[in-house]
Amino acid sequence: MITSKRLTSLEGNSQMLDGGAMFGNAPKAMWQRWCEPDDLNRIRLGCRALLVQEYAGVQRMRNILIEAGVGAFFSPEMKQRFGVQESHHRLLESLADQGLGHEDIDVVVLTHLHFDHAGGLLSAWQNGQDPRLLFPNATFVVGETQWHRANDPHARDRASYIPTLNQALAESGRLELVPEGEQSPTLGADYSFHLSSGHTPGQILPEIDMPEGPLLFAGDLIPGAPWVHLPITMGYDRFPEQLIDEKRSVLAQLGKRNGRLVFTHDPDVALGRIDQDERGRYRVVDTQASFAELAA
């Protein structure tokens, strides 16, 4: 019986990407107030994961990893193209800081299979060698709709997926596909998902109950604190108007329940509480750059 959970934010490899692409149709005069661009118009982005450690009393039962970030599987040329800053696998270092190796992870939950969220499942690039699938003891939990999308992508987002990773996941024998509206048998009833298809069809966002209110891993529905503003979307979002409607619904639900968001791409804010100003506009308060806390 699970009696408590310890939640810890983990830093993965960081990126520098075009600010205009990250803020869609928002003008630079607006978004540069939140994210200062470099001389190439790029902004800093994190690739943050969430470690959930389950306990029965003092005994640790399972290690669950939500997201894997971009990792370090890209060749030097591709790292430069996509602004990946580190050549080493930073997520593995973050796990090591918690006394864990990738072999110690029991479950990996992937909100979706874009390379900046799932690339960390692969080993770091080595010249002349194909990257291998890490996390040999983990069950990989993916939304069924997203899995089909990843294996038959639209031309618009084909470059966002890693075909060799999809093949490795399928061949692992440890892939669990979650149908829309259902829970993961592996994770159990303590975990629920918000379904979001505005960014990509079938993105699943895990919600975890905490004593002071729910905590939602916001994925690419709300990649960082600036995107909590309802009209702000990314140029990478497949269906921006749908995403805005999904964001409105999620924020309204979380706001009523004193909810918090974990941001995967915000380089400075790992966690924040949902609030509204006097005009009803959503904002993030009580922010933390990193966290490690226990949930009863």
What pLDDT is attached to residue 52? 97
Give yes or no for residue 296 having a pLDDT over 70. no
pLDDT band at 1; cut points 50, 70, 90: confident
How many domains is the chain partitioned into structurally? 1
Question: Nearest-CA neighbor of 227 among 242, 202, 208, 244?
Answer: 244
Q: Quick one: tokens of 3? A: 């009696």
Between CA 108 and CA 276 the distance in angstroms is 33
Q: Map tokens 């874009």 to a residue.
A: 114
Percentage of the chain modeled with pLDDT above 90: 94
Query: DSSP label at 139?
Result: E
pLDDT tens for each residue of 172-213: 999 999 999 999 999 998 899 999 999 999 999 999 988 889
Instruction: Quote the strand ranges of the chain, DSSP E.
Output: 4-11, 15-18, 42-45, 48-56, 59-66, 107-110, 139-143, 175-178, 191-196, 203-208, 215-217, 260-262, 271-276, 282-288, 292-295
Q: Is the dihedral of CA 99, 104, 107, 113 positive or negative?
A: positive
Mean pLDDT of 266-282: 96
- Determine the structural domain holding residue 155 and report its residue range: 4-295
Whether the CB-CB separation of 54 and 20 falls below 8 Å is answered with no
* pLDDT tens track for 130-182: 999 999 999 999 999 999 999 999 999 999 999 999 999 999 999 999 999 99
- HSE-up (13 A, CA, CB side) for residue 106: 10
CATH number at residue 284: 3.60.15.10
- pLDDT tens-digit profile of 198-255? 999 999 999 998 888 999 999 999 999 999 999 999 999 999 999 999 999 999 999 9
The C-alpha atoms of residue 264 and residue 228 are separated, in whole angstroms, by 13
pLDDT bucket at 2, cuts 50 / 70 / 90:
confident
